Structure 1
Amino acid sequence: MNDTRLPELSPGDRSAVRALYRRALEGWNLRDGSAFAGPFAADGEVIGFDGTRHSGRSAMAAEPGRIFTDHATPEYVAKVRRVRALGPGVAQLDAVAGLVPDDAEDPDPALNAVQTVIAVNAGAGWRITLLQNTPARYDLRPDLAQALTAELRGLTGRGPGPE
C-alpha cells in the first residue's frame, strides 16, 4: 500500500516558517515595502485581497511602497492556524488575518482574510514563495464571520500571534 502521509517539519523549521510570515506582516505594519518583501524568494508571489498578483520580490517591494505613500493602510493582526510539511523543504502555513484601520481599535470585518503561505528551503534557508489572501466572507455562515472577527479582535495590538 502506498503511504501518502506527509513528512513532519522539525520544530525549528516550523518556527522559521512562522518567523517569515511574521516578518512579512511586520513589514506591512511598518509601511515598508522592502521589509514586507524581504522574507520572500526572489521569484516569490503575493496574491492580494482583491486578486491582484505581484510577482518577484522587487515588484512586491515597489507596489506596497506606492500604496503606503498614497494611502493610510490598516495594520495586520493574524493568528497562525497550522504549519505543515508538503514535502522535503516545502511547507504550508495557514493563518487568519484582519486589518485594523488607523482610526479604529478593532479589525474591520469586511477585511478579514484567510491567508496561505507556501515556503521553500532549497538549502539556503526558508523563503516565502507564495502568500495568498482570500477574503473571509463566509457568505452562508455569518456566525463564522462573527466568530473570526471576535478572535481577531483579541489579537489587536499583538501582531501575528501564536498558533
Structure 2
Amino acid sequence: MGETHAESVVRELYRDLLTAWNDRDAERFASLFAEDGVLVGFDGSQVDGPEIAKHLVPIFQDHPTSTYVARLRELRILGPGAVLLRSIAGMIPPGDGSLNPAANAVQTVVAERRLPGWRVVLFQSTPAQYHGRPEATAAHMAELAPQAANAELLT
C-alpha cells in the first residue's frame, strides 16, 4: 500500500527540515514549525517555535555543523491532519565523507495540517548511543553508510 497524500507531504516536510539544517539556514528551519511547535535538540535543549531561529543562529555561526542523512522507519497517520514520522539519522562532519558514530540519532517528527500548510509541532533528535550494544551501533552505521557515500539525504 502506497503512502497517503498526508504521509507524502510530511516526508517532504522532514526532508525540508534536514535540508535547512544542512544548508545552515536557521530562518528556513524555523519556518517549518508551527507557532506553538517545539524543537528538542540532540543535547536536550527544548526550544519553542518563536525562539527556534534565534537558538540556531549562533550554532550555525559559531560551529562547523555536520550534515544529516536519514532513513525513515515509520510514517503513521495519527488522525485527521496529524502524522507521526520516525527515522534514524547520522551526521557527516564537515570535510569528511564518513558518518560520525557519536552523532547517530533517532528522530521523531509530529506534524499537523495547519493554514497555510503542514507544520512541525514536534521535532526531537535523540542520541542513539546504544549503550552496551555495539552491534546496534554497527547496524545503524551500516544502514546509513551507503547514503553517506552517495550524499543521499533521505531514504
TM-score by length of 2: 0.92
- Aligned equivalent of 1:68: 60
Tell me the residue number matched to 1:24. Answer: 17
Higher helix share: 2
**For the Cα contact (< 8 Å) 1:17–1:91, is it kept in 2?**
yes
1:113-147 CA distance string (max 9 Å, x none): 00010001145421110001111111132101111
The equivalent of 1:52 in structure 2 is: 45
Aligned partner of 1:158: which letter? E
Say if 2:34 is the partner of 1:41.
yes
- Extract structure 1 runs of 4+ deviating beyond 4 A: none
Is the aligned partner of 1:101 residue 2:113?
Answer: no
SS of 1:97's equivalent in the other structure is strand
Give secondary structure in 2 for the equivalent of 1:154: helix
Q: Which runs of 5+ in 1 are unaligned?
A: 1-8
Aligned residue-pair number: 152
Deviations 1:40-71 (A, max 9, x none): 11121110011001101x31112111111011
Residue of structure 1 equivalent to 2:112: 120
Q: Distance in 2 between matches of 1:84 and 1:122?
A: 18
Looking at structure 1, the residues matched to 133 and 57 of structure 2 have their Cα atoms a distance apart, in angstroms, of: 35
Residue number in structure 2 paired with 1:129: 121
Separation (CA, whole Å) in 2 of partners of 1:129 and 1:79 = 20
1:146 paired residue among 122, 138, 153: 138
In the alignment, structure 2 segments of 5+ residues that lack a partner are none
Q: In 1, distance between residues paired with 2:137 and 2:27? A: 32
Q: Taking every aligned residue pair, what percent have the same amino acid on both sides?
A: 43
